[in-house]
Structure 1
Amino acid sequence: MRTLTVDDETAGQRLDNVLLRVLKGVPKTHVYRVIRSGEVRVNSGRAQADTRVAAGDLIRVPPMRLAAPATAAASAPAREFPVLFEDEYLLAIAKPAGVAVHGGSGVSSGVIEQLRRARPQARYLELVHRLDKETSGVLLLARKRSALVALQDQFRARDTGKVYAALVFGAWPRHVKVIDLALHKTLDAAGERHVRVVSPAHEDGRRSITLVRVVQAFADCTLLEVTLKTGRTHQIRVHLAHSGHPIVGDPKYGDFARNKAFAREHHFTRMFLHARQLSFDHPASGQRLTLEAPLPPECATLLRGCMGSPLNL
């Protein structure tokens, strides 16, 4: 049995991410299993995988045999990404689709490991929030501990503005502008997240609100501007799919047959969900910043060429 004390650098992070970093070589499935079983304790109490730890918390970890392979950070290729904003407190990049934000669950490395490898001189670099592997767009990282805490507080308090571009199958009804549906997240034995719509009365359901505006309608698809009022896991993907208009190319919640046919016809193989704008208060100056990531070339080409309409997004 070992006990870990949460330091200032670790405070605010999820319990599962702390353990996955500390217990390198332990299968991810086993880490989630001991959390679910209650063998992992935080301040002597049971905790969930998504519990946020605080400085000074004591994490009790049961005995586990550690392998000794090379860590993801050590084996990660050094890679920079297009920079949207950078100063001594923040780094904002345009994340491409197909790159996870961090390693784990069969992914050897992600944005954070690759950036750390590319910037060995960086004393501090942490993810402020996350984007799905299949989603492109604005991704924010902190270069100081104080910036991470301040920004994560804003995200939790919903003081940030998040706007996405999504191409969905079918003709979205223009009168539907608000989706207000509770969501419930579960983890399978492999730690894979699955989210579904549940009744507002569901004991584990969390109210989730998505605003939708039609940008342009095409023959078989609709381009939407989507604004998040809450930030649940897979919220946009599940809300749109539940409404009968899954996102083009969504491999988890989408229409698999239509995805395959669309990819064959248009040579477009990614999910069309792009975090195009993020607004927040600078953690040091308090100035409101609005950062924008241009639509990736493959998405812009699809809209201009295959869909036959030039759009400036």
Structure 2
Amino acid sequence: MPDIQDLPLGPGVRLIAHDANGLAALDKPAGVLSHPNDRADEPRSLLHTRYVRDGEYYEWTSQGRSPETGNGTPDAPPRRLWLLNRLDSATSGAILVCADGDLAREIRALFLRKQILKVYHALVFGIPSQARQIWRDRLVVQKKGGVIRTGTGGNIPSEAHMTVLRQQRSGPFPLALLELEPRTGRSHQLRVQCASRHLPIVGDATYGDFAANRAIAKKHGLKRLCLHSHETAFDYEWRGRTHTFRATAPTPSELLRLL
């Protein structure tokens, strides 16, 4: 059985679900990187250890059993944890990992085939005109100098299903908590789709309402992107059996306390 215990978790990261095959979900706080870009990033990453970019996995050895200890204990093989999806550092919530490399390839294939349910919660300025909507857009994604920018008016089809969970009309800023289920996985998709409908996500420093962000930060101390990966669920085939995996990361209190 793949070992999913005693992980060198990064700051505030929690294990929220795992199964006997080595699949697991972690709850990542806002501000923590899905993976480090260099060694200096390791202390603020999902796991506080080395990340192998080519293989898309974290790697470490158990304490006291590495060749460097010099204490005569047997050398332990390196442990690896494969990263199955990514969240922007500013986005919190459920992120998937796997302790089995072969299974990791299978789950990544499910992502490519869009067979994984992903549900996000977003606190936005404004209130949608309808309680439920299907958002379809054609986006453009550009990357310059390592910075990704996404906009509307492109050729990349993007779809998300939106449901209003809560709303607050009083006060200087009408606010709504939205459930967003992306059916495509474009970079910054949900942030752009919200902004293009005049529903910018609270705290979005790239696509948001900067004046409203400053005002709400000053009044309530809210200084994060209010986008959260709430739930991930899917079925998968492994070793002749069908398995179901589901993970839920509770919505952070800072997304709820203004409603």
TM score, norm. by length of structure 1: 0.65
The correspondence of residues 146-157 of structure 1 with structure 2, limited to 5 A, is 146-157=102-113
The C-alpha deviation readout for 1:86-112, integer Å capped at 9, x for no partner, is 244222110111111112289723534
The correspondence of residues 302-313 of structure 1 with structure 2, limited to 5 A, is 302=257, 306-307=258-259
CA contact (8 A) 2:131 2:163 kept: no
Q: 1:142 to 1:216 in 2, by over 3 A?
A: same
Equivalent AA in structure 2 for residue 120 of structure 1? T
Paired position in structure 2 for 1:66: none
Percent of aligned pairs with the same residue?
30
| CA distance in structure 2 between the partners assigned to 1:286 and 1:77 by the alignment | 29
| CA distance in structure 1 between the partners assigned to 2:131 and 2:17 by the alignment | 36
Paired position in structure 2 for 1:250: 204
CA contact (8 A) 1:80 1:118 kept: no
The C-alpha deviation readout for 1:112-151, integer Å capped at 9, x for no partner, is 4416689633622121000111111111012111111101
Q: 1:175 to 1:84 in 2, by over 3 A?
A: closer
SS of corresponding position for 1:177: strand
Instruction: Give the aligned CA root-mean-square deviation in angstroms.
Output: 2.4
| CA distance in structure 2 between the partners assigned to 1:244 and 1:207 by the alignment | 20
Paired position in structure 1 for 2:48: 114
Q: 1:234 to 1:137 in 2, by over 3 A?
A: same
The correspondence of residues 68-107 of structure 1 with structure 2, limited to 5 A, is 81-86=13-18, 87-104=20-37
| CA distance in structure 1 between the partners assigned to 2:129 and 2:40 by the alignment | 38
Equivalent AA in structure 1 for residue 48 of structure 2? Q
Q: 1:115 to 1:141 in 2, by over 3 A?
A: farther
Paired position in structure 2 for 1:50: none
Aligned residue-pair number: 222
CA contact (8 A) 2:60 2:79 kept: no
TM score, norm. by length of structure 2: 0.78
Unaligned runs of 5+ in 1: 1-75, 200-204, 308-313
Equivalent AA in structure 1 for residue 140 of structure 2? H
- Bigger drift between 122-131 and 152-161 goes to 122-131
Q: 1:176 to 1:78 in 2, by over 3 A?
A: closer
Instruction: List structure 1 segments (4+ residues) > 4 angstroms apart after TM superposition.
Output: 76-80, 115-119
SS of corresponding position for 1:260: helix
| CA distance in structure 1 between the partners assigned to 2:113 and 2:59 by the alignment | 32
Paired position in structure 1 for 2:152: 197
- Bigger drift between 149-158 and 165-174 goes to 165-174
| CA distance in structure 2 between the partners assigned to 1:197 and 1:107 by the alignment | 35
| CA distance in structure 1 between the partners assigned to 2:60 and 2:124 by the alignment | 38
Paired position in structure 1 for 2:187: 233
Q: 1:92 to 1:221 in 2, by over 3 A?
A: same
More helix by share: 1
The question of 1:187 aligning with 2:143 is answered yes
Paired position in structure 1 for 2:80: 124
The alpha-carbon deviation at position 282 of structure 1 amounts to 4.2
Q: 1:106 to 1:209 in 2, by over 3 A?
A: farther
Equivalent AA in structure 1 for residue 186 of structure 2? R
| CA distance in structure 1 between the partners assigned to 2:227 and 2:40 by the alignment | 21
| CA distance in structure 1 between the partners assigned to 2:242 and 2:86 by the alignment | 22
